[in-house]
Chains A and B, each alone.
Chain A
Amino acid sequence: MTASTTTADLTVVVAARRMLTADVCEFELRRRDGGLLEPAEPGAHITVHTPSGEARSYSLTSDVSDLGRYVIAVRRDEGGRGGSRSMIDEVNEGDSLTISSPRNAFELMDAPAYLLVAAGIGITPIRAMLLELRRRGAADVQLVYLSRSRAETPYLDELVEMTLNRPITLHHRSLHGALDWWPLLESPGERHLYVCGPESLQNELRALTMHWRPSRVHMEDFAGISAFGGISLPFVLEWQPSGVSIAVSETQTMLGALERAGIDADSSCGSGTCGTCRLRLIDGEADHRDVVLSESERRDFVMPCVSRALNKGLVVAPL
C-alpha cells in the first residue's frame, strides 16, 4: 500500500552518518525544524535527490514508529551512474538533502509466521520489518541473511542481538558457497516470505516457491510491469449494473477482477486482439491497450482483458 499519495519533496538535514561496512554508509535524516516526519510503514522507501543529480530510492531501515527521523543505508556502487557514490563521498553531517514522501511497494502483512530473506544491502527494509515485528510481539520470525563475508554484513551484531532466541541463518557466500534453499521453502505452512535482494535471488526464490500461495510471497520486484511494456497501477472498477466497486490490483486484469467478483464477461484471446470481451465504457479515462477498437470506439468501449484506467477508476457495463 502506498503510505501517501503525495510525492511532495521535503528538505531534510543529515543529522548523522556512519560507515557500517567498507562500502555501506548509514544516514540519519531529520527535519531541520526538529518536527515530525510523515509516517511510514516498514518496507517503505524514499527517493533521494543525490548530489550527482541522480534520484535514487532507498528503503527506510529504521524503526518506523520513530517519526523524528528516517534512516537509510547506502551501498557504494562503483559500477553505477554515481548516485550512491556521491551520497557516500559528498554528503556530510549538517548537509541538506531533498527527499520524497515515503512510498511502500513492500507491505508487511499480518501473518502467523515469517521467513525474511535479505541479501547484502537488501537488509535495509528487512531490518525495519524486524523492528516492527519485535514491537508487535511476533513470535515466529526467521531471518536468512546472505552476504559475501562477515565484514560485508551491515548491522550484523545488532541483528544477532535483536533476533536473540529466534532463528537467524547467516550465510556468507565466500565461506559457504551456494545456500540450499529447499529445506527452508519445502513446507510453506502459514508463513509469509519477504525477499529483498538482487534480481537473480528474487527469480531463484520465486521459482522455488511455486507451490506457495502467491499472496504469501512478497518481493519488491517487477510486479506491475505488464507483458505489454506499460506500467500497471491498481485502480477501482465500478460495475454499473449493480454499482459494485471492484479493486483491480497491479497484477490483475480488469477481466480477471470481474471474474473474481463473480461477474461473467465473455472472453477469448485475453490479449486485446479478438474483441470478444468488449464492455461499454460509461465513465473514466481508459488506457486502451487493445488492437481491436477504433479511435472512435474507444470513447464508448473498452477491452477489459488488457486495458486499464489512466487515473483512479472506470465505470463499465455490458454491451
Chain B
Amino acid sequence: MHGSIHSLYRYPVKGLTPEPLDRVALEAGRAFPFDRLFALAKPQGAYNADTFVPVSKREYYVLLNTDRLAGLAVGFDPETGLIRVTVQGHPVLEADLSTEAGRAEFVELYARVADLPDGERPVLAEQPGYNFTDQANNGSRMMNTISLINRASIREFEARIGRELDPLRFRANVYIEGLEPWVERDWIGRELQLGGSGGVTVRVVEETERCAATEVDPSTARRDVPVVRLLHENYGHEIMGVFAEVLSVGTLAPGDSVAVPDAATAA
C-alpha cells in the first residue's frame, strides 16, 4: 500500500506552535532536528537544569495547562538562534535565544501569556542532547522517535463526531495522506519506507495515547472539543498516531511517497 507525505512539522519549543518544513534531513536513531529543543518550565518546579532528570509534562507550560500558547505563532532559526513571535501576523517579539538578554525577553512574554504573578517567569529549559518530547520520559530510544499521523484516521474520526478537527491538534512530525483510516494500528513492530529511495526506513514502535492538549483548537486557542473523551467513546481507546524510530539516513519532503506494510501480509 502506498501513501504520500502530506506535510512535515517541528515544534522548536515544547507546547508552542508548529513550524512547517519544506524538507527535513533525518539520521538513524535521531528525532526530528530541533524538535522540542526548548521548553518553558514552571518556576520552582521539578525541572532543574543542573541536576537534570526528565520530569512530567505538567512541569512545563504546555497546551494541557495553558491553551493560549496556541495563539502566538513562533518561528525559530537554528542558524542564528533568533526566535520570532507573532500574534495574528503582527510581530510581538524577536529575541536571540543564544544571549541572556534574549532569553529574558522571551520568558517575560510567556510570563504574561501564562499570567504568572509579578516577578515570576518560566524557565527556558534546554539540555544538551535532549529533546522535550513527552516520549523523552521513556528513555533515549523513545526520545529519539518521530511521530506520524494518518490523516485519513482523523477524517474518519471527524465523520463520527460531526466536528472538524485541525490535524495540527495532534502535533505530529509527519502527516501521511492517501491511506485507509486506522491502517497504522497494524504497524507496530513493522517497517515503513518514508520518502522513496532518498528517504528513510523507519520502524514503528508504539502508538500515541492522546492527552487534553488535543482539546485546544490551534487556530482559535480555545479548548473546544473533548478529543480524548470522544476517542474513548467512539473507539474504546485514546490513540491517534504512532511513534517510529528512524533506521537509516535520508531526506523527506511533502509529496514524497510512503510505502507501508500490506495488510494482507500481516502476521
Contacts and interface: CB of A to CB of B under 8 A. Distances in A.
B205 to A, nearest CB: 20
Interface stretch (B84-92, B143-151, B185-193): B84-92
Interface size class of A (residues with CB under 8 A): 20 to 34
A227 B93 CA distance: 31
B28 interface: no
A210 interface: yes
A269 B238 contact: yes
Contacts of B215: 227, 270-271
A65 interface: no
B212 A210 contact: no
Nearest to A226: B223
A207 B221 contact: yes
A214 B228 CA distance: 26
A182 B92 CA distance: 11
Contact of B212 (A182, A213, A271): A271
A210 B87 contact: yes
A274 B220 contact: no
Contacts of B160: none
Residue of A182, A213, A228, A270 contacting most chain B CB atoms (<10 Å): A270
Given A210-B68, A271-B228, 7 more contacts: A210-B72, A227-B226, A256-B65, A267-B58, A270-B211, A271-B211, A273-B228
Which 6 residue pairs across A and B have the least CB separation, nearest first?
A270-B212, A210-B71, A271-B228, A271-B212, A211-B92, A227-B226
29 contacts: A186-B90, A186-B92, A203-B220, A209-B87, A210-B71, A210-B221, A211-B72, A211-B113, A212-B112, A213-B112, A213-B113, A214-B68, A226-B223, A227-B215, A227-B223, A227-B226, A256-B65, A266-B56, A269-B209, A269-B211, A269-B228, A270-B64, A271-B215, A273-B232, A274-B209, A274-B238, A291-B229, A291-B233, A305-B212
Interface of B: 56, 58, 64-65, 68, 71-72, 85, 87-88, 90, 92-93, 109, 112-113, 115, 209-213, 215, 220-221, 223-229, 232-233, 238
Interface of A: 182, 186, 188, 203, 207-215, 226-228, 256, 259, 266-274, 291, 305
